[in-house]
Structure 1
Amino acid sequence: MNRVRSQTETIARLCKEGVALNIPSYQRPYVWPAEDVEKLLTDIAAASLDQQPHYYIGTLISSRSRAHANPEAEYSYELIDGQQRSTTLTLLALAFRERLPNHALAAMTRLGAQPRLTFMIREQAQAFLAKEADLQPDTQLDNAALASPYLSHLHQGLKAARQRLKQMADAGQDLGALADYLYEKVVWVNNIVPAGMNLNRLFTRINTGGVQLEQSDILKAQLLRKIHRHKRRYDAIWQACENLNNYFERNVRQLFPHSDWQKLRFDALAQFDAERFRQEENDQAETIGQTLAELAAEVDVQLGPEHGPAETPSAKEDDNTVYCRSIIGFPLLLMHTYRIFRAERKEGDISCRLNAARFGECFDDFVQNGNEADAIAFIECLWRVRYQFDRWVAKWLQRDDDVEHLHLGSVTLSESKGVKRLSRFYPELTPDLVQLQAVRNFTGERSAQYWLSPFLALMMKRTPVTNGDASNELKSMDIALRELERIDNVLSLAQNTQKEASFALLCGQKSECDPPAEIEDHLRKPLGTGFAHYWFQKLEYVLWKRRDKLPFLDEKRWRDFRIASKNSVEHVHPQQHEYREEQLEPDILNSFGNLVLLSPGENSSYSNQDPEKKRVDFERKLTYDALKLAHIFHLMGKEQWNAAKIERHRQSMLELLLQHYQAG
């Protein structure tokens, strides 16, 4: 089977192996603006000064072939995707060549008697590169030529790079060290497709679809390089875990088709078993990468809706396609996995913040010092984490309407027309677990989602095998909810950072927390729009969970209620009343009892209306804007919304919050 092979590349490797780069005729002109070229150079310089182990510039797609554009090359890469970055690296090398003509980096600009980078059928662009590499110094390019679509950005980009290097030299920066770093430490992943395929067509689909480039590609290449036996198996495990736009069970079925899928229950996916999850029986090849069909399928996902298909178990087997989207990206899931992996080994937390932008820093030590056993153990840990992630963490779905919501389905082994398969079913009523996850998802450090590390680790330890039994599934759901409530309570009161508190929870340790009474002290202050949105969202969850004990809530209206992203604090009694001249005291107006969190559209619809008008508008809606607002208008009744009722509402909400903490 033809597969796409992945490997890491550097300028040093290209030069030492005599590799030429060809820009095919179907590619658009070079379009990077000069400021982006300068920014890339500045970023690389910063990474060099910080002594970062490498600077990652993304993923390229190419086709390897025997050289034909440059007869002195050992072989060529035809660039299907990535010509902009490759050309920019060439411009940077040309800028350095002017100042450091004897540095090894200068070899990036030329290979034999021709530029290393070849623009097919673009004579002016080729002449420009040859002139700047001193291969054809007598070439004349007038201003009209330099302003043409094929030369303008090349010319301006090289000019900007040279000016930035001059500034760095004038500031005393060591350009030799920077050239060393660019030559050896700037890296990318090269996905090499087999020869003989329709490259023009593949490029068109990729260029139209906008394939996302991930930092995780380079980590995968580095870990697989450490693994010598069953390399293909661990490549498949990685692929099953990395596609977050599809459900785990479907990914696994596609990549391990020879397993007995007529008998496997979802619980069987909890950890990797080489006997259970088998690949081709007689295929001992250690080829790394994706099949062409898989690559095309990924591109198709980008060409269609924004979120990839997540039907079970195959689009060909099920016409009722479901689309899902993860609340986090794969690089962040890898970072959460690494924290869990380290905790299982009794090691300390990662040193950097939990943010995809710190991905390389997070894994640097592991890549440098880990061995084959470490790489295998991490990838198998990733499998376990991904299973729990899909089992217990809600995904964005579009189901019965055009609105995307968080959903969490259960997986069962069902049968249709004699064929058994794993299928997902979704409850009509939003589970409490999903509502609480929405609170965490929409508040706090959203780029980190610190709650995920301890939650996934605890569920890895405590989730019982259900074997599809509904009662056991409910018990598992109760366990998950209790654990997440405890995690949420601790993180909301932690005296140390969210990162430190979450790792302590992950390790089963106690974290220093403020007493719940601190919440009461905080929410009694007249902070107005200064209240953290978390407390409004948390209260929505508490009210939701107690909905059966709040008789004023109308079931038809709360059944469709969802905790959603909201960022506009509304004063129920307006700060500027539309009619009345008299106003409440500022401390009453800005009391937590007079406030509710709404979306900007909901807030605008209420505006500065009298509370009575707001109540009428609120009652006309089919579902609740906010459960806190429902409590307010129930307490208000047909009377005025005054200071006494604002205080009563605040006190009621504080009591409910404190009861929730005490129950946990």
Structure 2
Amino acid sequence: MNINSTLITLKEVEENQFFFNIPIYQRLYVWEEDQIKTLLEDIETAFSDGKELFYLGGVLVVKNDTLDNGKVYDLIDGQQRFTTLWMISIIFGGDLTPFVERNEKQKSRHRVTFAIRDDIYLFFKEYINNITVKGATSQIVNALSLITKFKEQFDLEQAGKSLEIATFINEKVKLIFTEVPFQTDLNKLFEIINNRGVQLQHHEILKSQLINKIPSDERLKYSHIWDACSYMESYIEKNIRDIAKIRIQDLYENNPSKEGEEKLAKPSNLLDVINSIQNDSFSSLSLSYILNSSETYEQQTSSDIDEYEADEVRSIISFPMLLQHTLRIFLAEKEENDIPKILDKELLKIFTNSFFTPDRKDTDIKSFIELLWSVRYLFDKHIIKWVRQEDSETHLICKLEKYESKNNYYLRRRQPTTNEGEALLQSMLYHSQQITTHYWLTPYLNYLLKHNGQNGYNYLKKLDNHLFCSSVQGSLSSRTREFIINEDYETNLSTEILKIKDANDALGVAFPHYWFYKLEYILWEKFSSTKGDRWKYFKMTAKNSVEHISPQTQKTTDTNTVTEEMLNNFGNLSLVSRSINSEYSNLPFNEKKQRFVNNNRIKLDSLKMDLIYENDSWNNEIAIRHQNEMEIIINDYLELTN
């Protein structure tokens, strides 16, 4: 099979007049918010860093048709990423406009089409022409909404920034464009795709660089610790049990765990146990074993070791991100310079510049891997994960506990029976901060390390306040370093942004989402014990649309409205999901209230809106009163003078 691969930019796609069809056998667009946010944040970071090239993976195509001027390809691999780039082009415009469609005599030819899905074609046809229609999947609608919010945020930061990013995407983002022959047996090709060798990830290469610098007789045990830390979709105690074949229940007791003194948390104890079961004749570890060991342990059975129970979970960060948070703590302890920024895709470059210094000893490498174990253990013990519950996922901190059954002891991860403030606060930070960095994690994990995990919740509240409610300017990287060096570091807090302003200064849809999320947490903490189960069990969910309680386009018959001066102020705004924003649209206050009541009988979407819709009417006076009350509640929480 003759397969050709080239690097190609979107600009070159336009110049070559390539068009792409999503075949009927391919699933429709399924990317969720996290994947889209990661892509856009990575692109924005590369743009801000002035990168000359940004590699974005590959697409696999087979020729479908030849046009008078151009070619049509079937996209058979990489279509989710490519479709997202196309939707970004629709929203951002500018130099990306030719990538959206080509104007022809009869009609415009979309760059991306969906085989025999006329409803999707018609939706995009109208959407591109700024006509609001229905007919797309919820994933497509949500993706377009999220991309629009990113564009608005970029232009709020700097006028015209989205157009500059559009030029960057068009000229500097490169894809590996792989074309297979027209006569290719697609069944065989899919088999090749599914069974092809996976390229080594950057953290696996980093592992080999580090482990090879450790004396040969110690490599295996440090390799085991690294592998246990690297698999983020399971808890670390299960990982080390499966990899090193140790009895984890012997290293854990419930009461010491409450004080942060469990043996399993200490890397020295773990190394001693691994040493005791290692084959004395083992003297060296090959590079191939180092790289392959982490790929095989998931299939190993351990029924002969001990039983273990835990729900299906998903980490809020990747392993390369965890490595960089750990590296920041390591460098601070060594009083060395911090890394410039957390960047998943530049893991090797970051370690080359900040860790692999000429005077770095093998003892430093062992210390780093031991620190990695400690950080990952505390991460699993104190940081939220996505936990599967029936047909959805939610943020929970599931505690490890030891229990007895039939005269034997076992370990399990137990879901909390009630809503917990620590988890809800972290969920607020997760949803309101950049998904590819989460800088707040570094000082928080550092504090947990220094205090055996004790009193972390109170510290996290303080950290959140002084990082995100501060008048201090500067990058989150530099500001979080201050907290790593000095955990008592404080700043001047400010809620100036919440104050009522005139119509010209009110932010409206550009109001920072953080303050909506923050208020939800504060309201829950203050009132959940007195307002019933809907408040008690409230969960943070992804929201990306600012809703006007009194609509922007008001009907002349609607008496529940605010004036132009109040319309775009915090008191008349709430944060909702794209679907709710579309449902409410420009409905008058009474109709929105009834829909909110109908849709929130069991669980609440928004605590702020629940307070708003306790009112029977809505006007300037009530909106201003609501805004002032919310400001007082936030100021009280921050211990500011009203």
| Contact map agreement 2:387 2:394 (CA 8 A) in 1 | yes
Q: CA deviation at 1:423?
A: 0.9
| Contact map agreement 1:236 1:255 (CA 8 A) in 2 | yes
Letter aligned with residue 251 of structure 1? N
Q: How does 1:200-215 map to 2 (within 5 A)?
A: 207-208=194-195, 213-215=200-202
| 1:459 paired to 2:448 | yes
Structure 1 window deviating more from structure 2 (390-399 vs 359-368): it is: 359-368
> 1:595, 1:646 → 2: CA distance?
9
1:254 match: 242
2:263 match: 268
How many residues align? The count is 451
**SS of equivalent residue, structure 1 residue 575:** coil
Q: How does 1:36-47 map to 2 (within 5 A)?
A: none
Query: TM-score w.r.t. structure 2 length?
Result: 0.64
Aligned partner of 2:463 among 484, 487, 500: 487
Give CA deviations for 1:261-304 in whole Å, capped at 9, x if unaligned: 34533622222122234443435242253697863465x79xxx
> 1:510, 1:262 → 2: CA distance?
37
Evaluate the alpha carbon distance shift between residue 440 and residue 661 of structure 1 in structure 2; reply closer, same or farther with a 3 A threshold. same
> 1:212, 1:419 → 2: CA distance?
43
Aligned partner of 1:570 among 539, 547, 571: 547
2:5 match: 32
Q: CA deviation at 1:517?
A: 4.7
Give CA deviations for 1:449-497 in whole Å, capped at 9, x if unaligned: 0000000010011136xxxxxxxxxxx4xx1211111111111113332
Q: CA deviation at 1:36?
A: 7.5
Letter aligned with residue 355 of structure 1? L
Q: CA deviation at 1:498?
A: 1.1
**SS of equivalent residue, structure 1 residue 276:** helix
Evaluate the alpha carbon distance shift between residue 205 and residue 252 of structure 1 in structure 2; reply closer, same or farther with a 3 A threshold. farther
Letter aligned with residue 257 of structure 1? K
> 1:530, 1:57 → 2: CA distance?
29
| 1:499 paired to 2:497 | no
Q: CA deviation at 1:530?
A: 1.4
Aligned partner of 2:422 among 427, 433, 437: 433
Aligned partner of 1:660 among 631, 634, 637: 637
Letter aligned with residue 322 of structure 1? D
Evaluate the alpha carbon distance shift between residue 389 and residue 313 of structure 1 in structure 2; reply closer, same or farther with a 3 A threshold. farther
| Contact map agreement 1:214 1:331 (CA 8 A) in 2 | no
| Contact map agreement 1:259 1:276 (CA 8 A) in 2 | no
Evaluate the alpha carbon distance shift between residue 601 and residue 37 of structure 1 in structure 2; reply closer, same or farther with a 3 A threshold. closer
Evaluate the alpha carbon distance shift between residue 414 and residue 319 of structure 1 in structure 2; reply closer, same or farther with a 3 A threshold. closer
Evaluate the alpha carbon distance shift between residue 568 and residue 313 of structure 1 in structure 2; reply closer, same or farther with a 3 A threshold. farther
> 1:316, 1:403 → 2: CA distance?
32
Evaluate the alpha carbon distance shift between residue 390 and residue 263 of structure 1 in structure 2; reply closer, same or farther with a 3 A threshold. closer
| Contact map agreement 2:313 2:385 (CA 8 A) in 1 | yes
1:508 match: 486
> 1:390, 1:625 → 2: CA distance?
28
Evaluate the alpha carbon distance shift between residue 247 and residue 35 of structure 1 in structure 2; reply closer, same or farther with a 3 A threshold. same
Q: CA deviation at 1:57?
A: 12
Evaluate the alpha carbon distance shift between residue 428 and residue 30 of structure 1 in structure 2; reply closer, same or farther with a 3 A threshold. farther
Q: How does 1:229-240 map to 2 (within 5 A)?
A: 229-240=217-228
Evaluate the alpha carbon distance shift between residue 572 and residue 353 of structure 1 in structure 2; reply closer, same or farther with a 3 A threshold. same
Q: CA deviation at 1:416?
A: 2.8
> 2:294, 2:444 → 1: CA distance?
32
| 1:284 paired to 2:282 | yes
Higher CA-based Rg = 1
> 2:248, 2:305 → 1: CA distance?
18
2:150 match: none
> 2:383, 2:248 → 1: CA distance?
27
> 1:327, 1:531 → 2: CA distance?
25
| 1:408 paired to 2:403 | no
Evaluate the alpha carbon distance shift between residue 291 and residue 517 of structure 1 in structure 2; reply closer, same or farther with a 3 A threshold. closer
Aligned partner of 1:625 among 589, 598, 605: 605
Q: CA deviation at 1:547?
A: 2.1
Give CA deviations for 1:144-180 in whole Å, capped at 9, x if unaligned: xxxxxxxxxxxxxxxxxxxxxxxxxxxxxxxxxxxxx
| 1:611 paired to 2:589 | yes
Q: CA deviation at 1:205?
A: 9.6
Give CA deviations for 1:402-450 in whole Å, capped at 9, x if unaligned: 1111111111112233432221101132311111111211123321100
| 1:649 paired to 2:638 | no
Q: CA deviation at 1:340?
A: 0.4
**SS of equivalent residue, structure 2 residue 212:** helix
Q: How does 1:533-548 map to 2 (within 5 A)?
A: 533-548=513-528
CA RMSD of the aligned region, Å? 3.6
Evaluate the alpha carbon distance shift between residue 263 and residue 321 of structure 1 in structure 2; reply closer, same or farther with a 3 A threshold. closer
> 1:56, 1:359 → 2: CA distance?
15
Q: How does 1:54-453 map to 2 (within 5 A)?
A: 207-208=194-195, 213-228=200-215, 229-259=217-247, 261-262=249-250, 264-265=252-253, 267-273=262-268, 274-278=271-275, 279-288=277-286, 289=289, 295-296=295-296, 298=298, 322-350=311-339, 352-365=340-353, 366-369=355-358, 370-399=360-389, 401-453=390-442
**SS of equivalent residue, structure 1 residue 570:** strand
**SS of equivalent residue, structure 1 residue 275:** helix
Q: CA deviation at 1:605?
A: 2.0
Q: CA deviation at 1:523?
A: 8.0
Structure 1 window deviating more from structure 2 (540-549 vs 239-248): it is: 540-549
Query: TM-score w.r.t. structure 1 length?
Result: 0.62
> 1:319, 1:254 → 2: CA distance?
11
| Contact map agreement 1:262 1:419 (CA 8 A) in 2 | no
Q: How does 1:580-591 map to 2 (within 5 A)?
A: 580=557, 584-591=562-569
Evaluate the alpha carbon distance shift between residue 628 and residue 32 of structure 1 in structure 2; reply closer, same or farther with a 3 A threshold. same
2:140 match: none
| Contact map agreement 2:248 2:264 (CA 8 A) in 1 | no
Letter aligned with residue 268 of structure 1? K
> 1:208, 1:397 → 2: CA distance?
29
| Contact map agreement 1:315 1:321 (CA 8 A) in 2 | no
1:557 match: 534
Aligned partner of 1:598 among 576, 600, 605: 576
| Contact map agreement 1:396 1:404 (CA 8 A) in 2 | yes
Q: CA deviation at 1:314?
A: 6.6
**SS of equivalent residue, structure 1 residue 496:** coil
Give CA deviations for 1:75-110 in whole Å, capped at 9, x if unaligned: xxxxxxxxxxxxxxxxxxxxxxxxxxxxxxxxxxxx
> 1:210, 1:533 → 2: CA distance?
42
Structure 1 window deviating more from structure 2 (525-534 vs 211-220): it is: 211-220
Letter aligned with residue 415 of structure 1? E
Instruction: Note the residue ranges of structure 2 that are not aligned, 5 or more in a row.
Output: 13-45, 58-189
Q: CA deviation at 1:208?
A: 4.8
Letter aligned with residue 459 of structure 2? E
**SS of equivalent residue, structure 2 residue 539:** coil
Evaluate the alpha carbon distance shift between residue 642 and residue 57 of structure 1 in structure 2; reply closer, same or farther with a 3 A threshold. closer
Instruction: Note the residue ranges of structure 1 that are not aligned, 5 or more in a row.
Output: 1-27, 40-46, 59-202, 302-311, 465-475
